Structure formats: structure tokens, C-alpha cells
Copies of this chain bind each other. A is one copy, B any other.
Amino acid sequence: MSALLADLYEFTMLQSYLERNMTKSAVFEFFVRKLPSNRNFLVAAGLDEALDFLEEMAFQEEELDFLSKHFPSPVIDYLETFRFDGEVHAMPEGSIFFQNEPILRITAPLPQAQLVESRIMNLLHFETLIASKAARSVLAAPDRRLVDFGLRRAHGAEAGLLAARASYLAGFSGTATVLAGMKFGIPIFGTMAHSFVEAHEQEMDAFRNFARSHPGSTLLIDTFDTELAAEKVVALAHEGLRIGGVRLDSGDLAMHARKVRKILDEGGLRDTVIFASGNLDEYSVKRLLDCPIDGFGIGTALVTSGDHPMLDCAYKLQEYDGRPCRKRSEGKATWPGRKQVYRLRDSQGRLKKDTISLECDDLEGERLIGPVMREGKRLHPRAQIAALRERTMKNYASLPESLRTIDAENIYPVEISMLLSDLSKRVDRGEIHPLASISA
């Protein structure tokens, strides 16, 4: 991705920083201020793409030419050899997290840490948004096959691709998006479209042709009359063709699923599965759980996070040259300093309470944030997506029941430590200390 995928102010600030020699170490953190209603927790995602971006970020000649129309030559000279060589700390992808908890921290010379802001936010926001939305369907229907069908209404190419990744990481079985299969190794699924049926003069011919080309595949049976189509599927099977499943895409899915199941069963097709799609989300999937539907294709509501298409996230300067910072803007105040999240669990291993404090604090509990990049290079090889998915599923198992429900809003306790709260007051009073002096 072009390094110009950034807000203009990143470059105007850069110019001033360079002109004033403000190139000391800065600490920025990415966090979500507040969970949307209907989200009892969030699932961290997008770290892998963020690290790729930091490793690869560089300016091409055409980009420098464009910038040179807006900025003086010292800025262009700086950008010509720009490489991110800072440190990154983060929660692993698939981590469960909550309001105000940083999931990524960047420590780098101020111009660098600032310049990466827009894209870092753009990546972490979107994948976390989608993983957190996908998690709700996975929790609502843990024993059903869930497939991402959203590419066509995703917001552009990258949204389609990354929504496939984020939803798989969150526990979906796969995606319809072929490129996500190639790029991330995610299982890909596909059936047929209504156009296939319509392109044939007879629905029966369409089914027969498709089943011949793709033995064991899934036939779409709602183009004209769903139950009549199910009868045709039975007839085809009796011709000796293997039909793996049928897909319902419109109307009263519960009613059709029951009728179709009966027709298939009576026709001896007990192993032919029923797959449903058509403007589904976690709520409709949950309502359909007692129907004979084996899997769901979830599209638009998933890839746009339809009920809440954004998270109230921020990437904020928390420290510059050893001095903790915070803004006090109304309704948008932030906590200063390099932070850590300390998590306590109950005797069954379930999440009990998180405390946000400074990294230099020494609180009880698991520390959620760890180093992932040093001097601009990854510390660990890229994680396999299937392994990330397994880890995410394990994380769900550690959620208390109150957070697993999709029907009620419950707030998990996240405390601010004494140390952090004190530091915040001291920053406000102008008693500014280098971090060393405030460690516990």
C-alpha cells in the first residue's frame, strides 16, 4: 500500500518536527474508547497487516514528486530514505479486550510514530471491528458452519479481503472470497447463483449440469419455487447424481428449511445439508438455530459490521521524550504513559477483572501486551491463520457467560490503577516527570 495513504496533517506535522528537531522517542497507543452497544467485548485483529505495513513502508519516486509540490526539500529528503525502525508492543491477534485497553503501542522517533498513524488505525480498526462482529455469530451458533459471503457489499477490495481474514480468525469456517483463500490460506466455499438457474431454460437442467460439473456440490433452490426445486433435487439424486447440499436464500427460511428437510429425508437424502443465506446476522442465525439448517452464509451485516460500522478508536501520543502526555478534550481525555493491561481470572480460568496501569507497574495478573517488533523488524514469524483461529476459540471459552450472550449488554470490569490515575493528575497539574521517576 502506498505510503501516501495517510492524512495530510501527518506530513505537515512532520515538517514542523523536522524543522524544530523534535525527533526524540514518542509513544503512541491504539485503543477503543468505548464499546458500542451490543458488544460485550472486542477481538483484537489486524496486527499482522499492521506489522507488514511498518516493515514495508517506503516512499516511491512518484509519491515524492507529488509531495514536493506541497513540502520543502528537507521533508522530501527525509522521506526518501524513510524506514520505520521503531518498537511495537501489542496484544496477540484474537485477544479479548475492552474499553481503553491499548492493543498496540508504537515507540519510535516522533516523526515516524506520527507518520504511520492513519494506516495503523485504518487496519486495526477495521479488522478488529469485523472480528468482534463475527465473534457474535460464532458464539450464537457454535456448532454450525459459518461462511463469509460479504465481498460484494464490503467497502472496497481490501475490506472484502480483510473481512474474510478477520471473520475466519474469529471462528468462521471460511469465506467465498477466492483471493482470501490464496493470500491467507483460508478455506473457500461456493455454491451457485440465481443467474445460473436462469441462464438455463429449465431449473432441472441447471441443477443437472451443475451437479455433473461439481459432484457433491450445493444447489441453490429458491429461484422460482423452493419446495418444487427440492423435489427436483431428489429426482436428480435418483438419477445417480451426488448432491452435497441445497441453499435457501429468500423468504421464510425456517419454514422452507423444515419443508425442504422433510422432502430431502423422504427422498432418502438424509446426508444432503441445508445451507441458508440472505441478509443474515447473528440475531437471525440465533433465531434459526432450532431449524434443520446446517450452515449459514453471512454477508453484508458481517463485512460492514452493519449495526455498528465503526469503533470509537484512537491512536494517541502518551509520552514524548520520557514525558507522559495526555489530552483533556471534553469527552475525549486519554490516559498518559506506556500502559499495560493486567488480567485476573477466576479459578476456572474465566476472565474476572482487568486493570489498566503503567507498564512499569507490578500488578498481579497476566500481562496482555508484549513486544512484537524491534528496530522495525518482527520478533516472531508470522502466525498461521488457523492457529490464530484456534487461539481465538480458546479465548471465547474463557469468557464469563454474561459476556457470551448476544442479547444483553453486560459490562466487564476494567479498572484504572492508582498509579495511572495519579500520573494523570500530575500531568494535569503540570508536574511532569520522566517515566523513571514514577515507576512503582
Residues of A near any B CB (own CB < 8 A): 1-2, 4-13, 15-17, 19-20, 22, 26, 28, 62-63, 66-67, 70, 110, 114, 117-119, 121-123, 125-126, 129, 149, 151-163, 176-179, 181-182, 188-201, 209-210, 212-214, 217, 222-225, 249-252, 278, 300, 303-306, 309-311, 313, 315-317, 320, 323, 325-332, 432
Contacts and interface: CB of A to CB of B under 8 A. Distances in A.
B310 A192 contact: no
A171 B199 CA distance: 41
Given A12-B190, A195-B317, A329-B249, A152 B121 contact: yes
B12 A304 contact: no
B179 A214 contact: no
Q: How many identical chains are in the complex?
A: 2
A117 B194 CA distance: 12
A249 to B, nearest CB: 7
Nearest to A317: B195
Contact of A8 (B70, B189, B209): B189
A304 B310 contact: yes
A79 to B, nearest CB: 12
Given A17-B199, A110-B199, 9 more contacts: A2-B179, A5-B178, A11-B178, A66-B178, A67-B178, A126-B154, A195-B325, A199-B317, A201-B432
A80 to B, nearest CB: 16
Interface centre among A5, A278, A305, A306 (most CB of B within 10 A): A5
Contact of A178 (B6, B110, B327): B6
Nearest to A72: B213
Contacts of A213: 12, 15-16, 19
A199 B324 CA distance: 9
